[in-house]
Amino acid sequence: MEGHTFLVREDRFIIPWKIGDLNFHITINFRDSSSKWIVVDALICSFDEIPNAVEKELYHSLLLANHNLPEINYQLDVEGNVLCSVDMDKEIVNYENFFSEFNAIPYGIKYFLEKIAPPLKISVSGRE
């Protein structure tokens, strides 16, 4: 993360991240102080970028990737957008395992862009 800028919000850091020609926001969510989890996520693909004809194949590919890729978690939000996420227990996170978990997000985005999206003809615009 060296050299990256970030934005600070009340309960999260937002880190702009460029992959190829696309821009993404990786968000480190601290939630409320009573939560024991730090959640890191990034929007990869909005629901309107997913062709209806490939939804079932996409969900299958995401579940298979969750199974096959260590540290990578694909998920859908309530609007059907595709995200990549990791969560960490605040009590046991240290510098090394934080960055190990954190780096799963750009890797997960890249994997989606290179392996999942092309065969399904999903065009991702990237968001800033």
pLDDT of residue 124 exceeding 80:
yes
Residue 90, pLDDT score: 80
Would you say 90 and 37 are in contact if contact means Cβ atoms under 8 Å apart? Answer: yes
Q: How far apart are CA 17 and CA 116, in angstroms?
A: 20
Look at residue 33 in the predicted model and tell me its pLDDT.
Answer: 63
Contact, 14 vs 29, CB < 8 A? no
Tell me: the pLDDT tens digits for 71-118? Answer: 889 999 999 999 999 988 888 877 788 888 889 999 999 999 999 999
Round to whole Å and give the CA distance between 101 and 93. Answer: 10
Task: Quickly list DSSP for 89-114.
Answer: ETTT--HHHHHHHHTHHHHHHHHIII
Assigned CATH for 7-120? 3.30.1460.10
The two structure tokens encoding residue 25: 């926001």
- pLDDT for the residue numbered 98: 83
Give the residue from 14, 10, 22 showing the smallest Cα distance to 46: 22
Q: Coil, strand, or helix at residue 58?
A: helix
Query: Domain spans of the chain?
Result: 7-120
Residue 50, token pair as written in the block: 């997913």
What is the total residue count of the chain?
128
Model confidence pLDDT, tens digit, residues 4-63: 565 556 677 888 999 999 999 999 887 666 678 888 999 999 999 999 999 999 999 999
Each residue's pLDDT tens digit, 53-73: 999 999 999 999 999 998 889
pLDDT score of 4: 56
**CA–CA gap between residue 124 and residue 1 (Å, rounded):** 23
